[in-house]
Amino acid sequence: MIRQQSQHVRDTSDLPDRLDRISLIVKEESGQLERRTATATERLLRRAGQRLRLSGEHTVVALAGGTGSGKSSLFNALAGLELSQVGIRRPTTAAPYACVWGAENVAGLLDWLEVPHDRRIGRESELDADSEVALRGLVLLDLPDHDSVEATHRLEVDRLIDLVDVLVWVLDPQKYADAVVHERYLRPLRSYSDVMMVVLNQADRLDPGQAQSCLQDLRRMLSDDGLSGIRTMLTSARSGVGVSDLRAVLTTAVASHQATARRISADLDGLSGRLGQLARPDIELSVVDPLAGPATASLIALAGIDRLAALRAADYRTRGLRRTGWPLAAWRHRRDEGTPPLAVLRSEVDEVARSAASLITEGLPTGWQQRVEHAAVVAAAPLADDLDAAVHAEVQAPIPASRWWHMAMVVNWLLLLMVGAGAAWAVTTYLRADGITTSVLIGGAVAGGALVLGLFCAAVFEKLVNRGAESRQRRIESHVHAEVAATTENQLLVALRAELTTYNTLQQALRSFAPPPSQADPSTERPPDPVPDPRAAVVLRKVVKVVLSKMDEAS
């Protein structure tokens, strides 16, 4: 009467890693997921985290079914006590009953399930001795009817179906083919076959042949729902048929302590298809490298570094020419007035960052484009102050004097003294001799020679100063350019690479949920059960309804 699963038991060894990847996806998806998928993923992660933090010693099993399926009678039979009210007129409350084997540390779990305190029953007692110890750790729920006329009942069923570890669908011979249970519940839950089972209850109302025929028809319908591997069995709370087998199944589930992990894994599998389809190709981090040159050049232009270097070179030139120029003409060397660089505007730096981000995010989802752009702007925020600090430091730095300037000044003054001395000698001798004499010519020659030599040296010194000014300008440009390039790399480009790394990690996490291609070996698969003719199944249902109706009339 029991049909075992034909598929492999779900492997849960990688559940922590899968949950870590889901957490990453929820944290970093930045609008890449569709809203519905994002909401479902967040809800799954939150629900999984809550369940795993609660009692790991308990397995929550829910009995779900429609009105008249005998679900509550089966609940009482499994518990061995009359706990849940039985009958067509059910309580108006939408709350479930809970029967607990092993009540230690279970209060938090029942609170999370929102089971009212007056509907929590502890099953084990001293009178049971060890008869119930095999089920210790079981939390058995009797859910409201999913087809109740009360909408709150249906909502409560839907809520608890999302929370329980194992789901047992209790169907009856009259309504097992009801489209509501197949289309609303069983078919959408086809990926949960290893944490779900279906029992055809009230088997005592049919003869063995009819019961097996109904069960076979039910299996065919479940196969059409995508649940060909789900466990099925016949049960009867009245006669006890299948109750011990069902208890054995629940005992195995409790003993394995794997139901919770399998349920969460099944939840993840339900999202895998949608998540895997949303993965995009990775982006090479090397796409950031070409941005270094243009970004640095833009920031240098904003800071006016080249203009600053030219002004500092002019200051060097003016000071050098005043120190090394011909003393009688050095005063004419004045600094060329120029506009000093202004403070760098934050908005201009932000625009450079946005431009850099836009070059590497083309084709990315809008959310990721905005995220990378925002990260670039945040990373570039200190650049304006850094550029201003670099400019200020260079402006305030003293202009060093070259060592040869002092020697040049001494030479110039010595030559000037020689010019003065020679001229004075020539004039004095001329006045005393009242005419041009050899001494006058010698004095004039000394003065003239010193003057010519002085002007020549001044020209040479001016060239040397100009060359020093040009070298000074190049050094300033090289130094500040290197600082700006290093700052751009360490702040802006590193931030861009970090965002792209996160993007690639997200894509890898999404791809990890893509279902692998089927690698099943057809030769090792169990042959499917024979599928009855659907027309015969319809006739069978009609016969069963007639038989059950006559039995009801007779009773």
Shared domain for 307 and 248, answered yes or no, is no
What's the CATH number where 199 sits? Answer: 3.40.50.300
Shared domain for 453 and 531, answered yes or no, is no
Q: Say how far apart CA 13 and CA 463 lie, in whole Å.
A: 80
Shared domain for 541 and 470, answered yes or no, is no
Shared domain for 502 and 540, answered yes or no, is no
Shared domain for 347 and 264, answered yes or no, is no
pLDDT confidence of residue 100: 92
Shared domain for 478 and 521, answered yes or no, is no
Shared domain for 477 and 524, answered yes or no, is no
pLDDT confidence of residue 528: 42
Q: Which residues pair with 248 in a beta bridge?
A: none
Q: Would residue 215 count as lying in a domain?
A: yes
Shared domain for 26 and 175, answered yes or no, is yes
pLDDT confidence of residue 518: 52
Residues 172, 175, 181, CA angle at the centre, nearest 5°? 100
Q: Would residue 422 count as lying in a domain?
A: no
pLDDT confidence of residue 397: 73
- DSSP alpha helices (H): ranges in 234-304? 243-256, 259-277, 292-303
pLDDT confidence of residue 338: 54
Sheet holding 2-3, edge to edge: 2-3, 231-234, 196-200, 166-171, 59-65, 138-142, 97-100, 120-122
Shared domain for 470 and 489, answered yes or no, is yes
pLDDT confidence of residue 336: 59
For residues 457 and 415, the answer to whether their CB atoms sit within 8 Å is yes
Q: Would residue 322 count as lying in a domain?
A: yes
DSSP letter string, 18-67? HHHHHHHHHHH-TT-S-HHHHHHHHHHHHHHHHHHHS-SS-EEEEEEE-T
Shared domain for 98 and 172, answered yes or no, is yes
Shared domain for 274 and 290, answered yes or no, is no
Q: How many domains does the chain have?
A: 2
Q: Would residue 439 count as lying in a domain?
A: no
pLDDT confidence of residue 536: 47
For residues 359 and 332, the answer to whether their CB atoms sit within 8 Å is no
Token duo for residue 282: 């990775």
**Percent helix, strand and coil across the chain, each to the nearest 5:** 65, 5, 30
Domain range for 201: 2-279+514-554
Each of the 555 residues of the chain gets a pLDDT tens digit; together they read 444 444 446 677 888 999 999 999 999 988 888 888 899 999 999 999 999 998 788 999 999 999 889 998 999 999 887 765 555 444 445 789 999 998 788 999 999 999 999 999 887 754 454 667 889 999 999 999 998 888 899 999 999 999 999 999 999 998 899 999 999 999 999 989 989 999 999 999 889 899 999 999 999 999 999 998 899 999 998 899 999 999 999 999 999 889 999 999 999 988 888 888 888 999 999 999 999 888 888 888 877 777 777 777 888 888 888 888 888 776 676 665 555 566 677 888 888 999 999 999 988 888 999 999 999 999 888 888 887 777 777 766 777 778 888 888 888 899 889 888 888 888 888 888 777 788 878 888 888 888 888 889 888 888 998 888 888 888 887 888 888 888 888 889 999 999 999 999 999 999 998 876 654 333 333 444 444 444 445 544 554 555 456 555 555
pLDDT confidence of residue 127: 47
Q: Would residue 426 count as lying in a domain?
A: no
* pTM check: above 0.75: no
Q: Would residue 202 count as lying in a domain?
A: yes
Q: Would residue 168 count as lying in a domain?
A: yes
Shared domain for 548 and 503, answered yes or no, is no
Q: Give, in order, the Cα–Cα distances in Å from 445 to each of 6, 48, 266, 354.
A: 122, 106, 110, 72
Q: Which helix (H) or strand (E) holds 199?
A: strand 196-200
pLDDT confidence of residue 342: 60
CB neighbours of 68 closer than 8 A, spacing ≥ 6?
Answer: 88, 172, 174, 175
pLDDT confidence of residue 535: 46
